Amino acid sequence: MKKLVSSLVMATLLFSGISVVAAADTAVTPTVKHAKAEKKEENRAKLNAKAAKWGVETTDKTNKEVKAAIQEAKAAKKADNAEKKAAKEAKKQEQLAKLNDKAGKLGVDTTGKTAKEVKAAIKNAKEAKKTENAEKKAAKEANKQEQLESLKEKATKWGVDTAGKSAKEIKAEIEVKKAEKKENKK
């Protein structure tokens, strides 16, 4: 039953459509042309907007030429982005190489570490080296003070005044006293 009803509906539409199309064929043509012209203007406006976005000039160009120019602009942008990405990657590799050199000088192992991890390891190594240098300096200063005390004891033994004198001056005076004593023995 459904098939019969749908067949009848189709037949009715078919025959009525032919007469409507035939009768309206002359009257519809200006409307169709107007709709096509509107669509064409709408498409041109969209194309002009796209061209403006990509910096393409549209004056005295056909739609195909504008589309081709937009494609060229896109390709140029893509190539520019690829160059920037390659330059960024090269700079990143250069920085990593510099970090690895610094790490090597400080004795830091960089195997399997990211740039951030290498920077942190370098920072820790530098801090450790500063601490070590400070300890060495403190030990050297302590040793110097110890030697100065020993020198002052010698100076006291030889009768040399140490007030306001440097270690070199004290040593020189002790040597003079020793030389005088040698002279006196002869």
| pLDDT in the model for residue 20 | 47
| pLDDT in the model for residue 34 | 78
* Residues 6+ away with beta carbon under 8 Å from 171: 151
Tell me: pLDDT of 11 over 80. no
Output the CA torsion sign for 108, 114, 119, 124: negative
* Residues 6+ away with beta carbon under 8 Å from 58: 47, 48, 51, 66
Tell me: pLDDT of 22 over 60. no
Tell me: pLDDT of 74 over 90. yes
Q: What is the pLDDT of residues 36-65, one digit of tens each?
A: 888 988 998 999 999 999 998 988 899 899
* Residues 6+ away with beta carbon under 8 Å from 156: 162
User: Are 67 and 47 in contact, with CB atoms under 8 Å apart?
Assistant: yes
Q: Determine the average pLDDT of the residues in 142-163.
A: 87
Chain-centroid distance, C-alpha 72: 29
| pLDDT in the model for residue 112 | 86
The 3-state secondary structure of 25-91, one letter per residue: HHHHHHHHHHHHHHHHHHHHHHHHHHHHHHCCCCCCCCHHHHHHHHHHHHHHHHHHHHHHHHHHHHH
Q: What is the pLDDT of residues 96-150, one digit of tens each?
A: 889 889 898 888 888 888 889 889 999 999 999 999 999 999 999 999 889 888 8
Tell me: pLDDT of 153 over 60. yes
* Residues 6+ away with beta carbon under 8 Å from 152: 162, 170
| pLDDT in the model for residue 9 | 67
What percentage of the chain has pLDDT greater than the value 70?
87
Band of pLDDT at residue 15, cut at 50, 70 and 90: low
